[in-house]
Structure 1
Amino acid sequence: MLYSDVTAHDKRVRFREGLAGDTLLRFPGAFTPQSVRLIQEKGFDGVYVSGAVLSAELGLPDIGLTTLTEVAGRSRQIARMTDLPTLVDADTGFGEPMNVARTIQELEDAGVAGCHIEDQVNPKRCGHLDGKATVDLGTAVQRVRAAADARRDPAFVVMARTDVRASLPGADGLAVAIDRAKALVDAGADAIFPEAMRDLSEFEAVASAVDVPVLANMTEFGKSELFTAAQLQDAGVRMVIYPVTLLRVAMGAVERALDEIASAGTQRALVGDMQTRARLYEVIDYAGYNRFDDDIFTYHP
């Protein structure tokens, strides 16, 4: 009933242990606290909170319009619903290095297991869109140093994301991205998120070049092919996120449902595709709340 009783620290330790293990970690992106319950039930390793999803939920494009307060608040709502570790997209840290430091501590207080900080300029853009620009290496390093130094729980995972590969699409782009990844590890990054890799060989090159875990972003309609978990693991990747998949599936269903109601005048044909009331009550543990009422609220000695 209510929230997870696993502490934030224990989730962070579990996350680090998973990253150090031999099996690829799979983190689907959650778009509601209820969806987190399903992610855990289906046996995934963790939960991802995507900046693109949070922006879309607010009806906004993913161009750096969301605030630290909005991201930390939503992250808290999601992280407390699951025993799994939660990784959060913290964009560019919401400002200069001091703002990055505050971002880390706010996200620690939200109970998440870690976050990633990227090296785009402000305002940032979605990682798989054209027209991105990255900050100079010195600024990128400052952000990661600020993040690593600000954490109070040493188990909190600070991941560094670099978008250099997409902003330098030529032959030298991968080499620059690898050099930057190495510098970000030296600055204190616990893991590297190389955004918009073109193929498996690029993931393999990054993973071979750094001595920390590497994350792959398997977002639909992006720069990277949708590789399987087995392919990514063979390439040396330690973690994969599916950031917008569940939201896209859900919103596709919403649009089709609205079309059906508009054309047919009833939702009758849609009922077979719906989550039933019984299943909803099972997911949110309605019976647990009833037991609380019976045993405590309505208890008569």
Structure 2
Amino acid sequence: MLYSKTTPEAKRRAFREGLTSGRLLRFPGAFNALSAKLIQKKGFEGVYASGGVLANDLGLPDIGLTTLTEVAGRVHTYARATDLPVLVDADTGFGEAMNVARTVQELEDAGVAGIHIEDQVNPKRCGHLDGKQVVDQATAVNRIKAAVDARRDDNLVILARTDIRGSEGLQAAIDRAKALIDAGADGIFPEALRDLGEFEAFRKAVDAPLLANMTEFGKSELFTNQQLEDLGFNLVIYPVSLQRLALGAAERGLDTIIAEGSLRSQVESMQTRADLYDLVDYAAYNEFDTSVFNFDVERDNYH
């Protein structure tokens, strides 16, 4: 009932331990607190908070328009809704070294278990768009050093994302990754690798936890969990998938109203009232203190 029973510190320990467990951790991207709860209910290992999703939720493109305050406020609702660790896309850290340090502490206070900081220039853009620019290695390294120095909980996982593959090639990405690990990053998020051969080459070259981004309509192929685990990747994210599924269904529903005049034909594909009540745990709220807050959850016609 209400919020997570697991402390942020415990979630961070679980995330850090999971990265060295030898199994692939699956972090679907939530688009609100309720979807974060659904991810937990379905048995996944964690929740991802995509910068693109957070921007799109405000009706904005993913081009660095969101602020630290907006991101921290929103991901706090994710983190408190679930017992799972939440990994947050912190873009470029919302600035350079001092801004990165503040970003780390704000997101720590929001209850997240991990963040990733990227090496794009400010303002950044979606990692699967053309025309990305990356900062020089010294700047990228300083961002990671600032993030590591700023964290107050040593179990907060700090991943370094590099976008250099798109502009300078695979070897440049491997070299950048090694420098970021030396700077203190707990793992690497190599953005927009192209095929299984590149994923395999990156894994062989970099001795650190690795994140695979399985986003639809992007530069990378979509590999199965088993393929990624066989390669030795530690973490996979599905950053925008749930938002895309939800909006695809919403569009079909709106089209149905226009075409058919009602949603009768779509009811079977909707989440039932019973499932929604179970997800938000209506029964527990009803039982909490009936003398103060009393209502009946009708069992008849419970759908």
**TM-score normalised by structure 1 residue count:** 0.96
Q: Partner letter of residue 71 of structure 2?
A: V
C-alpha distance in 2, partners of 1:162/1:222?
16
> Does the alignment pair 1:188 with 2:184?
yes
Query: Partner of 2:143 in structure 1?
Result: 143
Identity %: 69
* Residue 295 to residue 90, structure 1, CA distance change in 2 (3 Å): same
1:257 matched to which residue of 2?
253
Alignment-derived partner of residue 124 in structure 2: 124
Residue identity in the other structure for 1:167: S
Q: Distance in 1 between matches of 2:21 and 2:191?
A: 23
CA RMSD of aligned residues (A): 1.0
1:8 and 2:8 correspond: yes
Corresponding letter in the other structure for 2:19 = L
Does the 8 Å CA contact 1:115/1:157 hold for their aligned counterparts? yes
Question: Separation in 1 of the partners of 2:236 and 2:126?
Answer: 18
| Corresponding residue SS for 1:80 | helix
The count of residues paired between Structure 1 and Structure 2 equals 294
SS in 2 for 1:294: coil
Of 234, 240, 243 in structure 2, the residue corresponding to residue 238 of structure 1 is 234
After superposition, the C-alpha distances for 1:34-58 in whole angstroms (9 at most, x for unaligned) are: 1111111111110000001111111
Which residue identity is paired with 2:108?
A: E
Cα deviation 1:49-84 (Å, max 9, x = unaligned)? 000111111110000000000110111000111111
Structure 1 residue 179 and structure 2 residue 175: aligned?
Answer: yes
Is residue 207 from structure 1 mapped to residue 203 from structure 2 by the alignment?
yes
**Separation in 1 of the partners of 2:46 and 2:96?**
29
Task: Decide whether the 8 Å contact of 2:286 with 2:293 is kept in 1.
Answer: no
Q: What 5-or-longer segments of structure 2 have no aligned partner?
A: 295-303
- Residue 18 of structure 1 and its aligned partner are, at CA, apart by 0.4
Distance in 2 (alpha carbons) for counterparts of 1:255 and 1:275: 16
Name the counterpart of 2:297: none
> How far apart, in 2, do the equivalents of 1:179 and 1:87 lie?
25
Q: Does the 8 Å CA contact 1:47/1:86 hold for their aligned counterparts?
A: yes
Q: Any idea what the Cα deviations from partners look like across 1:182-239, whole Å, max 9, x if unmatched?
A: 0000001001000000112212222222221000000000000000011111112110
Q: Which residue of 2 aligns with 1:88?
A: 88
Whether 1:224 and 2:223 are equivalent positions in the alignment is no
2:290 aligned residue: 294
What residue in structure 1 maps to residue 103 of structure 2?
Answer: 103
Whichever residue aligns with residue 165 of structure 1, its letter is: R
Aligned counterparts of 1:92 and 1:128: Cα–Cα separation in 2: 16
- In structure 2, C-alpha distance between the alignment counterparts of 1:189 and 1:282, rounded to whole Å: 39
TM-score of the two chains, using structure 2 as the length reference: 0.95
CA–CA separation in structure 1 for the residues paired with 2:240 and 2:190: 17
Distance between the aligned counterparts of 1:112 and 1:133, measured in 2?
A: 28
Alpha-carbon separation, structure 1, partners of 2:288 and 2:159: 40
SS at match of 2:237: strand
Once the two structures are TM-superposed, the CA of residue 295 in structure 1 deviates from its matched residue by 5.9
Show the 5 A alignment for 1:21-40: 21-40=21-40
User: Distance in 2 between the 1:9 and 1:94 partners?
Assistant: 24
> What stretches of structure 1 of length at least 5 have no aligned partner?
none
Q: Which residue of 1 aligns with 2:69?
A: 69
Shift of residue 297, structure 1, vs aligned partner: 4.5
Residues 231 and 110 of structure 1: CA distance in aligned 2, closer, same or farther (over 3 Å): same
